[in-house]
Structure 1
């Protein structure tokens, strides 16, 4: 068995649904496309990815791409309406001591046993790497799709210093001809056109990357406090492979869902933050403040007058951010109640 074949077999043994291998060459085509877009300055400024793996690992010769299907269990409805499923699976940027963190660590250790120098912390264009490694195609909504699985896949990339057998790229688009459901359904119209996303309008960006959410976008966030799956949920490619699946319950999420309410998030203490928020939403937000703000926006969008008492208390907060957003949410609820009575 070749080293490449052994790597793929071990990856599948660990539970990855696809394993592909490509070169560690520059992603020049990624840089070319990216630099022509309006959001290039934002991505460059935030140092989100590097197009040159060898800049961070001069000895890199190959990139191993692992795909994990993160939709293998059902999600309680109230959580599904609040939090992106990739975060509920705890697979995005997996933490030490977590199942997915341990899985990735085992893969890295196995590569070292095969004589490889390994880097797991190089932020390269993951979707492009997956396409170049032959394990995914890129959809019009900018997500990576694996045949037979859909777009609910987490991509991990590992750089190694060995030349391996490389897979045939799958760079073609497989979306249904003329389909624009993802574009049409985006709550904030963040998908400008096929393969073009304005990150500053995307719901996740407004959940965690900015302190101030533009007024014109707040209602469009709906109940989403940490991520959004809308463009994936309406996608025919996902529906085709997942619509009839009966998924087992995630018992951890079932218990968590009983406690994770908007009121509880707004009024959380340190213990609640540590045991209920951080285990699934450790990404991007490290302090309770923005979670509280996000819960307030969701309350305001709900039109539910039972939140009024919580919001009136929040208006008296010493934190100007919390008090201002609580005022906006109260006005929104009262306005919606007034419209209903007309």
Structure 2
């Protein structure tokens, strides 16, 4: 079967199984990406979640010998929360970023890629393939850009002409030749809205992200959140959508045709205080199917404490006091101390002094002392 015919059949199959976009590119090294990754590494911008070996990220043959082509796919996800619950005094809520709405997108994309893989093996029984979603060594965005899925926006997201940047990406490497698609020209023009509104200035220049200061990354860390970012977190529990929501290419776009991706409003915009008493089992039962749960409950609970401080929720003082006094995790105790100071109140100074007399963790003591200094200033 000719390569052009195989490609056409794959395009038809992709439409049949609900893949929103499919593109094809060669498995040649991503030379331009190498330079960007080296610069990012040298400047300390990398998140640490990605593959550390730059050569593996830019040369598909190091992962998949005799690689000839890469098939890129994109699935559009919802951008609006229908019937969203609202925060109320004493009942404030946090928010998960849109990429964590519905079922974990890794699972959804892997299912679609598996279907496509099975079909390709029917067409070409001897074919070898390897699929990747997000956690693979290749850069999903670099593959999607070269395969014509969309262009790489100034916010570093892939922006498609049909779905904006509200798309999940995945790819499949193969050892057969398939004709490549043409990349899409950059359409950001002179717009800099994403750069201008980034809460932490993490978009240091068009197309370059300092992941270490990006809220989407910071919400996933497990340690103490650096103090300079805490007040910028707002009520975000996982991820950040700011650079996408302001993008003109996303205006009025909303796609909910994938049933698995439809969000449960109470899950993606949950009440904050109940989060803080959840057991591991309760957390997994409630949030385990969401991609935002992959780091466990501690980062989410730490972020919920910061969100309560953001709202200055005085009704949370008893709960935060209990966490400061009894929680076995230093990050939760120390963040609770910080949050109590931000909320304020007549008894906060005494709460901190009582906690300090029983605290033996240096980082928590430092948080308490810093809070007492603010209260006494």
Distance 1:283 1:108 in 2: 28
Match of 1:70 in 2: 77
Match of 1:169 in 2: 183
Q: CA deviation at 1:28?
A: 1.1
Distance 1:213 1:72 in 2: 27
**Structure 1 unmatched ranges of 5 or more:** none
Pick 1 or 2: higher relative contact order, CA cutoff 8 A, min separation 6. Answer: 2
Match of 1:93 in 2: 106
Asked if 1:60 corresponds to 2:67, the answer is yes
Distance 1:194 1:42 in 2: 14
Asked if 1:13 corresponds to 2:25, the answer is no
Work out whether residues 105 and 168 of structure 2, in 8 Å CA contact, stay in contact via their aligned partners in 1: yes
Match of 1:323 in 2: 333
Q: CA deviation at 1:160?
A: 0.9
Deviations 1:19-72 (CA, angstroms, capped at 9, x unpaired): 000001111110012213356656496543711111010021110000110127
TM-score between the two structures when normalised by the length of structure 2: 0.78
Q: Equivalent of 1:158, from 172, 179, 185?
A: 172
Asked if 1:120 corresponds to 2:123, the answer is no
Work out whether residues 133 and 166 of structure 1, in 8 Å CA contact, stay in contact via their aligned partners in 2: yes
Q: Equivalent of 1:34, from 37, 55, 59?
A: 37
Distance 1:110 1:251 in 2: 27
CA RMSD of aligned residues (A): 2.7
Distance 1:52 1:275, change over 3 A: same
Bigger CA radius of gyration: 2
Work out whether residues 222 and 299 of structure 2, in 8 Å CA contact, stay in contact via their aligned partners in 1: no
Distance 2:228 2:141 in 1: 31
Work out whether residues 129 and 174 of structure 2, in 8 Å CA contact, stay in contact via their aligned partners in 1: yes
Aligned residue for 1:66, secondary structure, equals strand
Work out whether residues 22 and 64 of structure 1, in 8 Å CA contact, stay in contact via their aligned partners in 2: yes
Match of 2:344 in 1: 334
Distance 1:47 1:274, change over 3 A: closer
Match of 1:264 in 2: 274
Runs of 4+ more than 4 Å apart: 38-42, 44-47, 78-81, 245-252
Asked if 1:25 corresponds to 2:23, the answer is no
TM-score between the two structures when normalised by the length of structure 1: 0.86
Q: CA deviation at 1:192?
A: 1.1
Distance 1:217 1:182 in 2: 18
Aligned residue for 1:2, secondary structure, equals helix
Distance 1:230 1:290 in 2: 20
Distance 1:107 1:168 in 2: 21
Distance 1:83 1:120, change over 3 A: same
Aligned length: 325
Distance 1:206 1:256, change over 3 A: closer
Distance 1:15 1:74, change over 3 A: farther
Q: CA deviation at 1:101?
A: 4.0
Match of 2:205 in 1: 193
Q: Equivalent of 1:276, from 265, 286, 295?
A: 286
